[in-house]
């Protein structure tokens, strides 16, 4: 298969050395967890519990709110103290269930399925649905919906995304080093659920150890190929990954299923394995707590609902020089205003940035037409034109430059010598137009 | 619910949250630096007057920008190095003879800088908004307003000169007015001609003569990624090809001397430092090649058929008009779009 990479892309310093060699450790259990009823793309869940109700670990506390939705489960055993509005990473108030941890770690009844490979596709999907699994790469799209493409769009290739191209984040890397077998089994389960014959795992070549462990785990599976890809941001963007591994270009505004491909994050594959094999719902995930502004960076396995402040404390606290904390990675993540927000299914990392690294909004120059943004845009757009049109209020004009094909990777703003907030201007134009 | 007390508030703004080291100032000052070898050689050949003219241009440019931005109530940005660069480029495009007290000509560089900065740049909206290359408009204005003064070429010598220097004609001037034979008479043989042109031992504008020094500066810019090969190669390549095809004087097609044309006049200075000005050239790489070809074709057209011996300046200015149109024509194709 062609190992062509996409045209463009940038090379920010990857900063992975801060946490790459820190094995995954369990975050300290805390007194309470705050579980939002909406931590995924799609309809929010409906609460299925009442105040003072005793719940077990893994018990469903929120029912999926529609077809495109995912159920939520308690990540601890204990008692529901309150159901109310709490802020999420984006500052939005979301209905959340607060559960007091009784420290017992008492699991609800789980169904063990040792012969999981003999399950039918529908049985597999049911287990994934029951486990409330969503995409763990950050988008948090309900996985069972992704695994149910319309009949007109059959899938012939599954790709696991182990690229982790965002600087600082190392959670997927550690998972591939420590649990490669489970990830490959997860891939096999996904392929079984779709009747797919070919699977790939894409890993950036700055992670040679992970390429090795995954290759070893995939030995003997002749329809699964582990590939090292050139290290470049955003190689992990699914359209870029599909081009690199399958040689196909997803059409503009299209989805991977339009070229018969399905992409899943390695963390999601791991969660799928745990769900199908052991019946475990999605109640914890790996979070890389890192950054120049953190005293002791770590890769932690964190119960959903744990507060960010607790994790920061567990990692030695913020250094004085830290000025910004990002939920996610520094290129596409969200700057949080308060540390008292819960970790959700899509929180891949917490990055504490320092003064020298960040961009100060408001202090930008006009576009000098240097063309750097055009050269590196992975989607082949002209971000300079988009930014100028938006700046001058010509939002409809920006659509002529394929405004809605931008997936806001941030490469353009990263390279801009005038430090223009290009992504912000693009989002502004999008908010003023329809696709 | 316990709330963590945070002494220092966290900054909240939109992604991406990290930035590259690149900045407008870094680019401008790097280009300024890359022109220093050529300026040094200019002082070597033409004497301190070369430095003084350039200094007057730079100071006038920076002051013009400062006061114009104050008048227009805009943020003062002289620290970004772009006005400095315009002044430097204008100075390098002027003949050394302009530094003269009798007749007094010091006002000429000042006027040129004023036109370059105030009219060509600030009145169009400032950095990023100008249609034309400011230094070149400044020079064009001076050429049209002071045609005699702008074409008195100081004879280069290899030592610091006394106040009054002898004047000479540029190689392209000799070529146009008197033909190849006269050029050979002046320089001896072809090899000597090329060597002298390469080093800069000839009459001409302050910054255009020393090809070697200019190429060193250009190599630095290319190494740093501030300019790419697209415009210089297509510009210079077109000049070379057309000079070879059409440049023969009375000897038929395909008998021209491409090397002579490449090393003469303001071509190297123009192709590497002026046509590549970000604001006034296309921003799409494929379009830049068309731009370079256009510049080259117009340069040869003016050199061979036009009234002036040198055409680089007007060629670039004419192509500046087409830059936005070229960008429009070479709009990039979005990922995944079907090829037509």
| Domain end position, chosen among A357, A384, A416 | A357
- My answer on whether A205 and A79 are in the same domain is no
DSSP states of B187-228: H-SHHHHHHHHHHT-SSSBTTTS-HHHHHHHHHHHHHTTSS-
pLDDT value at residue B1: 43
Q: Let me know how many helices (H) and strands (E) chain B has, helices first.
A: 15, 2
Nearest Cα to Cα of residue A430 among A394, A395, A387: A395
Task: State yes or no: pLDDT of B2 exceeds 50.
Answer: no
Using CA atoms, how far apart are residues B17 and B312, in angstroms rounded to an integer? Answer: 43
CA distances to B32, B89, B267 from B323, in Å: 24, 20, 19
Task: State yes or no: pLDDT of A2 exceeds 60.
Answer: no
Using CA atoms, how far apart are residues B330 and B53, in angstroms rounded to an integer? Answer: 40
DSSP, collapsed to helix, strand or coil, labels residue A195 as: coil
Domain assignment present for residue A18? The answer is no
- My answer on whether A260 and A136 are in the same domain is yes
Domain assignment present for residue A405? The answer is yes
Q: How far is B116 from chain A (nearest CA, A)?
A: 17
Domain count, chain A: 3
Q: What is the dihedral of CA A221, A225, A231, A236, to 10 degrees?
A: -90
Whether the CB-CB separation of A273 and A119 falls below 8 Å is answered with no
- My answer on whether A131 and A262 are in the same domain is yes
- My answer on whether A192 and A246 are in the same domain is yes
Q: Which residues of A touch B24 (CB under 8 A)?
A: 365, 368, 417-418
Using CA atoms, how far apart are residues A147 and A132, in angstroms rounded to an integer? Answer: 13
- My answer on whether A149 and A92 are in the same domain is no
pLDDT digits (tens, 9 = 90+) for B308-317: 888 999 999 9
Mutate to test the interface with A, among B335, B337, B338, B339 (most CBs of A within 10 A): B335
Mean pLDDT of the B201-213 span: 88
- My answer on whether A136 and A257 are in the same domain is yes
pLDDT value at residue A313: 95
Domain assignment present for residue A362? The answer is no
Domain assignment present for residue A1? The answer is no
pLDDT digits (tens, 9 = 90+) for A135-148: 999 889 999 999 99
Mean pLDDT of the B238-256 span: 87
Mean pLDDT of the A297-314 span: 96
Domain assignment present for residue A326? The answer is yes
pLDDT digits (tens, 9 = 90+) for A174-198: 999 999 999 999 999 999 999 999 9
Q: How far is B339 from chain A (nearest CA, A)?
A: 11
pLDDT value at residue B288: 97
pLDDT value at residue B3: 47
B13 and A335 within 8 Å at the Cβ level: the answer is yes
Cis amide leading into B103 (omega within 30): yes
Mean pLDDT of the A215-224 span: 93
Domain assignment present for residue A211? The answer is yes
Q: What CATH code is carried by the domain that includes residue A339?
A: 3.10.20.600
Mean pLDDT of the B321-330 span: 95
Say which residue the tokens 């489970």 belong to. A182
- My answer on whether A35 and A172 are in the same domain is no
| Domain end position, chosen among A278, A304, A331 | A278
- My answer on whether A168 and A82 are in the same domain is no
Q: Which residues of A touch B23 (CB under 8 A)?
A: 417-419
B166 exposed, middle or buried (CB, 10 Å; 0-12, 13-18, 19+)? exposed
B11, B127, B335: residue with CB nearest A249: B335
Whether the CB-CB separation of B120 and B68 falls below 8 Å is answered with no
Task: State yes or no: pLDDT of B233 exceeds 70.
Answer: yes
- My answer on whether A169 and A264 are in the same domain is yes
Mean pLDDT of the A280-290 span: 96
Mean pLDDT of the A341-362 span: 91
- Return phi, psi of residue A72, to 5°: -115, 150
More confident residue, B189 or A293: A293
Q: With bands split at pLDDT 50, 70 and 90, how would you rate the model's confidence at B339? A: low
Give alpha helix (H) positions in B72-189: 82-92, 107-114, 134-145, 171-178, 180-187
B75 exposed, middle or buried (CB, 10 Å; 0-12, 13-18, 19+)? exposed
Q: What CATH code is carried by the domain that includes residue A271?
A: 3.40.50.11540
Q: With bands split at pLDDT 50, 70 and 90, how would you rate the model's confidence at B171? A: confident
User: What ipTM, to 2 d.p.?
Assistant: 0.90
Nearest Cα to Cα of residue A169 among A43, A329, A324: A329
Domain assignment present for residue A320? The answer is yes
Mean pLDDT of the B238-254 span: 87
| Domain end position, chosen among A228, A263, A278 | A278
Using CA atoms, how far apart are residues A410 and A337, in angstroms rounded to an integer? Answer: 21
- My answer on whether A322 and A194 are in the same domain is no
Domain assignment present for residue A109? The answer is no
- Return phi, psi of residue B228, to 5°: -115, 175
- My answer on whether A119 and A266 are in the same domain is yes
Mean pLDDT of the A235-245 span: 93
pLDDT digits (tens, 9 = 90+) for A62-109: 999 888 999 999 999 999 999 999 998 888 899 999 999 999 999 999
Per the structure, the complete domain to which residue A46 belongs is given by 27-102+283-357
Q: With bands split at pLDDT 50, 70 and 90, how would you rate the model's confidence at A322? A: very high
pLDDT value at residue A1: 42
- My answer on whether A267 and A330 are in the same domain is no
Q: How far is B215 from chain A (nearest CA, A)?
A: 21
Q: Which residues of A touch B19 (CB under 8 A)?
A: 357-359, 413-414, 419
Query: What share of chain B in percent tops pLDDT 70?
Result: 94
pLDDT value at residue B337: 87
Half-sphere exposure of A169 (CA within 13 A, CB side): 28
A323, A332, A368: residue with CB nearest B11: A323
pLDDT digits (tens, 9 = 90+) for A358-412: 988 777 899 999 999 999 999 999 999 999 999 999 999 999 999 999 999 999 9
A331 and B17 within 8 Å at the Cβ level: the answer is yes
Scanning A252-311 for CB atoms below 8 A from B yields 252, 254, 309
| Mean pLDDT taken over chain A | 93
Using CA atoms, how far apart are residues B323 and B320, in angstroms rounded to an integer? Answer: 5
């Amino acid at each position: 298969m062609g190992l062509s990479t996409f045209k463009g892309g940038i090379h920010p310093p990857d900063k992975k050395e801060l946490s790459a060699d820190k094995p995954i450790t369990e975050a300290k259990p805390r007194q309470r967890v705050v579980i939002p009823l909406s931590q995924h793309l799609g309809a929010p869940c409906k609460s299925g519990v009442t105040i003072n109700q005793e719940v077990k670990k893994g018990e469903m506390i929120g029912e999926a709110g529609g077809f495109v939705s995912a159920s939520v489960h308690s990540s601890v055993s204990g008692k529901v103290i309150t159901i109310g509005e709490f802020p999420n990473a984006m500052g939005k108030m979301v209905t959340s269930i607060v559960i007091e941890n009784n420290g017992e770690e008492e699991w609800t009844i789980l169904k063990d399925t040792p012969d999981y490979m003999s399950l039918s596709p529908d049985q597999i999907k049911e287990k994934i649905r029951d486990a409330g699994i969503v995409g763990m790469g950050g988008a948090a799209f309900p996985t069972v919906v992704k695994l149910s493409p319309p009949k007109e769009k059959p899938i012939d290739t599954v790709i696991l995304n182990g690229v982790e191209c965002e600087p600082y984040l190392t959670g997927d890397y550690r998972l591939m080093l420590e649990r490669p077998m489970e990830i490959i089994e997860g891939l096999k389960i996904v392929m079984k659920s779709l009747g797919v014959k070919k699977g790939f795992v894409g890993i950036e070549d700055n992670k040679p150890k992970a390429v090795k462990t995954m290759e070893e785990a995939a030995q003997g599976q002749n329809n699964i190929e582990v590939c090292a890809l050139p290290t470049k941001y955003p190689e992990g963007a699914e359209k870029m990954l599909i081009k690199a591994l399958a040689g196909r270009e997803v059409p503009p505004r299209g989805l991977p299923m339009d070229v018969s491909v399905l992409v899943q994050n390695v963390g999601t594959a791991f969660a799928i394995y745990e769900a199908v094999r052991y019946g475990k719902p999605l109640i914890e995930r790996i979070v890389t707590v890192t950054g120049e502004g953190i005293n002791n960076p770590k890769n932690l396995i964190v119960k959903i609902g744990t507060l960010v402040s607790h994790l920061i404390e567990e990692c030695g606290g913020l250094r004085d020089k830290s000025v910004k904390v990002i939920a996610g990675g520094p290129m596409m993540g969200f700057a949080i205003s308060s540390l008292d927000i819960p970790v959700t299914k899509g929180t891949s990392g917490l990055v504490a940035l320092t003064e020298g690294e960040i961009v100060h909004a408001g202090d930008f120059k006009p576009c000098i037409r240097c063309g750097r943004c055009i050269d590196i845009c992975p989607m082949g757009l002209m971000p300079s034109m988009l930014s100028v049109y938006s700046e001058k209020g010509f939002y409809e004009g920006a659509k002529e430059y394929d405004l809605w094909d931008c997936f806001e990777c941030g490469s353009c703003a990263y390279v801009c010598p005038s430090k223009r907030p290009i992504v912000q201007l693009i989002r502004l134009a999008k908010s003023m137009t329809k696709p | 619910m316990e709330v963590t007390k945070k002494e220092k508030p966290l900054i909240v703004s939109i992604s991406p949250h990290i930035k590259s080291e690149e900045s407008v100032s870094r680019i401008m000052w790097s280009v300024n630096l890359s022109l220093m070898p050529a300026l040094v050689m200019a002082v070597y050949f033409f004497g301190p007057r070369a430095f003084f003219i350039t200094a007057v241009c730079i100071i006038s440019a920076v002051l013009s920008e400062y006061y114009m931005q104050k008048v227009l109530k805009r943020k003062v940005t002289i620290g970004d190095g772009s006005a400095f660069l315009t002044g430097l480029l204008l100075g390098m495009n002027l003949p050394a003879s302009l530094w003269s007290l009798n007749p007094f000509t010091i006002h000429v560089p000042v006027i040129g800088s004023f036109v370059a900065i105030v009219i060509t740049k600030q009145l169009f909206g400032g950095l990023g908004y100008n249609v034309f290359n400011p230094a070149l408009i400044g020079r064009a204005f001076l050429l049209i307003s002071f045609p005699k003064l702008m074409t008195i070429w100081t004879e280069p010598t290899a030592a610091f000169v006394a106040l009054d220097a002898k004047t000479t004609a540029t190689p392209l001037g000799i070529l146009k007015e008197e033909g190849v034979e006269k050029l050979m008479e002046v320089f001896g043989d072809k090899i000597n001609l090329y060597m002298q042109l390469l080093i800069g031992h000839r009459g001409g504008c302050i910054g255009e003569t020393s090809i070697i020094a200019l190429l060193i500066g250009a190599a630095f810019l290319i190494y740093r990624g501030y300019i790419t090969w697209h415009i210089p190669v297509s510009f210079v390549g077109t000049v070379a090809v057309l000079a070879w095809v059409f440049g023969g004087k009375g000897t038929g097609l395909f008998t021209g001397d491409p090397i002579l044309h490449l090393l003469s006049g303001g071509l190297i200075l123009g192709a590497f430092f002026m046509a590549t000005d970000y604001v006034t050239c296309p921003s799409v790489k494929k379009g830049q090649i068309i731009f370079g070809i256009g510049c080259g074709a117009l340069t040869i057209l003016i050199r061979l058929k036009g009234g002036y011996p040198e055409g680089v300046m007007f060629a670039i200015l004419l192509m500046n008009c087409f830059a936005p149109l070229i960008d429009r024509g070479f709009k990039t194709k979005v990922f995944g779009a079907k090829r037509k």
